Amino acid sequence: MHPPLRHRILGARALLALALLFLFVAGAAAGAARGVYAQESNAASNSSMTFAAVFTRASYGNLETSYNTVAVEDADLNMLLSTGARCIRIDIGYAPWLDGNQTAIREMTSLVQAIRAAGKCLIIADAASESYRGGGQLTWSQFMAAWVTRVATLAALYHPDYYVVIKEPGWYVPMISDASTNPQFQSVSVWLSLTQNLTNAVLSASPSTEVGVAIAANSLTQAQGAFYAQYLNEVQGIPGLSFIGFDCYGPSDQAATQKYLSANPPTKAVWIPEAWSTSTGGALDGSPSQDAQWMQSVYTFASSIHATFLIPFYTDHFASYSLTSSSPANAEQIIALYQQRTPIFSVFQELATAVSGSSTATSSTTSSSIVSSSTSPNGPPSSSTTGYSSSQAAHGSSTTSSGGKGIFSTGAVILELLVLVVLIGAVVYFRKRSSAS
């Protein structure tokens, strides 16, 4: 005996409703899973950015300071290696080569070897020589000739992966005796010719090195802004030049960079080769936690302009804000401070490792020496991390991304199975009810 028509209609409607419910829940689960995957894929798309860190104790004239011992330099380098940054930048001061200081030259060579042994790429940024300050100034023509010799010498000796041959044009002014009176110093064509000569000198000595230049981003908004804009526009046409950089210290520098790039789409790779929350290196608003937030925001900015490199400058403050170029002046105190970690260290470490997919657990503790360098199998001291999650900045390491995606997908499958069980139960129930009727 067939069930009454009304029962069959009721059962069909119920089955249709349950089927639609199943499709809705399954679709929502799948859509959410796709959303998580898309977010993770978007994070992976930022993996083209490279993080680097400035090796303060090896830069400028710091290497020659009495309290910057080999042990101090090792402590600084090991802290930088523990960040997970892919490259180490040294702003090499050239005074040891001018003075014939072989001890300092061997020390620098040992540090470069230690960076290589740790598997990191090397960035050299031109820092001229501190001996050119004060009474040691050169004329503009003398300075340009010495500049070409300097980059050729260091490129041949260290074969860096990247060479910032011009740090910031305005940075060299105190070293040049006629910078304010010689019209050649203000000539874009002269600077372009110099850049070509510097690029040729580096590539002749080290053909695999990528060469670039940088400017202070705030110079675009100052009286000489037209000079810098023209220089940037035309320097990108120089054969052999690979990248241009904008040194950004704060929001106004970021705005100036964004404005220039929007008006002048670049033909070369864009770097942020120097960055910090303040121009002096002090914590933003006197708060280390503000610097941690700034690190997230500058990464977001760098991503928005498609920067390929991001390099925080005052990296001593990854360990302690008490570390400055002149204080403390005791090696043991400096080494002790390098064992500490500030909030910005944790954020930088998480960003660097997430983007590169590397793990700080496998970083090597490096010990340099004037005679030789070696890599210890022991890892660096582990550092604490803050509650900051890289996913909050739309980044995720390959491990966390795949793990999160797997967990979410499993939950979606379980939910779909539960709905299916309910659907089957409903079918059985309505059939029995129909039969009983």
Nearest C-alpha neighbor of 154 from the set 213, 79, 91? 91
Instruction: Report the pLDDT averaged over residues 7-31.
Output: 46
> Residue 437: pLDDT above 80?
no
Tell me what pLDDT residue 153 has: 98
299-325 pLDDT per residue, tens: 999 999 999 999 999 999 999 999 987
| Joined tokens for residue 313 | 């400058």
User: What predicted TM-score, i.e. pTM, was given to this entire model?
Assistant: 0.74
What's the CA angle centered on 182, arms 179 and 183, to 5 degrees? 115
The length of the chain is 437
Distance of alpha carbon 203 from the chain centroid = 25
Distance of alpha carbon 53 from the chain centroid = 7
Say which residue, 128 or 9, is predicted with more confidence. 128
Say which residue, 420 or 52, is predicted with more confidence. 52
Residue 435's pLDDT band (boundaries 50, 70, 90)? low
Write the CA distances from 276 to 156, 244, 308, 348, integer angstroms.
31, 18, 17, 12
Contacts of 365 (CB under 8 A, 6+ apart): 78, 81, 375, 376, 378, 379, 380
Instruction: Report the pLDDT averaged over residues 373-382.
Output: 29
Tell me what pLDDT residue 428 has: 52
102-139 pLDDT per residue, tens: 999 999 999 999 999 999 999 999 999 999 998 899 99
* Dist. CA 357–CA 344, nearest whole Å: 19
Positive or negative CA dihedral for 63, 65, 69, 73?
A: negative
Using DSSP's 3-state secondary structure scheme, residue 376 falls into strand
Tell me what pLDDT residue 383 has: 30
* Dist. CA 434–CA 437, nearest whole Å: 5
> Residue 362: pLDDT above 50?
no
> Residue 168: pLDDT above 80?
yes
| Joined tokens for residue 224 | 């000489």
What's the CA angle centered on 348, arms 345 and 350, to 5 degrees? 105
Tell me what pLDDT residue 434 has: 52
Say which residue, 260 or 326, is predicted with more confidence. 260
168 secondary structure, DSSP code: -
Say which residue, 160 or 47, is predicted with more confidence. 160
Positive or negative CA dihedral for 387, 393, 396, 402?
A: positive
- Residues 37, 407 contacting (CB under 8 angstroms): no
Does domain 49-396 fall under CATH 3.40.50.970? My reply is no
* Dist. CA 46–CA 399, nearest whole Å: 16
Nearest C-alpha neighbor of 232 from the set 244, 249, 219, 248? 244
Contacts of 84 (CB under 8 A, 6+ apart): 51, 349, 352, 353, 356, 358, 359, 360, 363
Instruction: Report the pLDDT averaged over residues 263-276.
Output: 98
Q: How many CB atoms lie within 10 A of CB 309?
A: 23
- Map out the domains of the chain as residue ranges: 5-42+401-436, 49-396
Angle between helix 102-117 and 140-158 (nearest 10)? 50
Residue 294's pLDDT band (boundaries 50, 70, 90)? very high
Positive or negative CA dihedral for 383, 386, 389, 395?
A: negative
Q: Do β-strands 162-166 and 269-276 pair in parallel, antiparallel, or remain unpaired?
A: unpaired
Nearest C-alpha neighbor of 264 from the set 303, 307, 230? 230
Q: Which of 71-80, 171-180, 367-376 has the lowest mean pLDDT?
A: 367-376
Using DSSP's 3-state secondary structure scheme, residue 326 falls into coil
The β-bridge partners of 122 are 88
* Dist. CA 213–CA 210, nearest whole Å: 11
Contacts of 80 (CB under 8 A, 6+ apart): 53, 55, 88, 315, 318
Instruction: Report the pLDDT averaged over residues 398-414.
Output: 36
| Joined tokens for residue 238 | 């120089």
Q: Classify burial at 278, counting beta carbons within 10 Å of its beta carbon; exposed 0-12, middle 13-18, buried 19 or more.
A: middle
> Residue 361: pLDDT above 50?
no
Tell me what pLDDT residue 401 has: 32
> Residue 247: pLDDT above 70?
yes
Q: With left for phi above 0 and alpha for psi between -120 and 50, is residue 282 left, alpha or beta?
A: beta
Q: Which of 3-12, 105-114, 391-400 has the lowest mean pLDDT?
A: 391-400
Tell me what pLDDT residue 417 has: 53
- Residues 272, 307 contacting (CB under 8 angstroms): yes
Using DSSP's 3-state secondary structure scheme, residue 307 falls into coil
Q: How many CB atoms lie within 10 A of CB 205?
A: 18
Using DSSP's 3-state secondary structure scheme, residue 247 falls into strand
Instruction: Report the pLDDT averaged over residues 11-18.
Output: 48
